[in-house]
Structure 1
């Protein structure tokens, strides 16, 4: 697996909001189109890890792009609509809890990114991936970008798509089984979630049995 050298930026080097400079650098170097990819759901006790890939139109970049963690749910939904309306191509993919348990969350996250990139209608010539690793198996060049969702608008767009889509999946799971409150905590280890697991046990194919406290 390709491991990128660290390009971790200093806090003072991070832009106030992500911009399009990494994409334009890749374009000048002959790598175009450029896709950004990011994931949501590495830390929860339940549910899939979801990744998205987005190719933005440099002449029609959506307003409000930012790291999904710095936007509230309403803002994410509004920006998501703009991404779908303006982007050249958008794709998302997931890896289920069982597959996470069969390997590990890092591998599952990278595999979800690879699937998302492969699902793009327009094939990119460069992929900017949030984090320290380039997803293995890409059909094009890739670059790992530390804190990419705060530096690249393409990665920020992917982070929003991944987060909203995963939240929708977890909300649907909550409507199917109301004992756990998945629609409220999205599978994270909140007090309510842990109390529900203690009372009812884990849900097959939903909870990540390789995570504590299930692993113990």
Structure 2
């Protein structure tokens, strides 16, 4: 996301004065998406051992988790600036989240081989020859326990003129903890994390406690 620096709040810019109504709404939505990610994680982590449907259910819920996490990042960037420490730290820790969300959002194009990174440059760009490979697919899922599951997506794309299979990994617990922390830190920098909020919000009290 590229923001106009003239209209983008700088880190801590709202701390000295009361947040505007728009900023309060941005903070509320950003916090809400982090809460949505938490609810998804709780469902995904709560599947019973031996449930033969668990892998498929985690896969489809991971689609929503990626979208929720990306929306937290977008809201934080809009509210406190994409160059603020919380947003930059999150982006560095989870660099593939945005590109994966874009592929999931345009799943129909990537399945056909006509996604943005599956065609040559130009309006009349040629689609990648999938050669029978899946344009976009779930590649693997493994793990469990305290660190949660890891889900890997695979996309067939063009890279320097060559057809390659790229993998994008989502560690559901790590991503969920990170977006909870990002939402909390965003509210803090925006001057919206007061004692009243902390008293009633377990997520902001301890983002890692899931």
* Bucket of the pairwise TM-score, normalised by the shorter protein: under 0.3
Which one has a bigger Cα radius of gyration? 2
- Report the TM-score, using the length of structure 1 for normalisation: 0.27
Greater relative contact order structure (CA < 8 Å, 6+ sep): 1
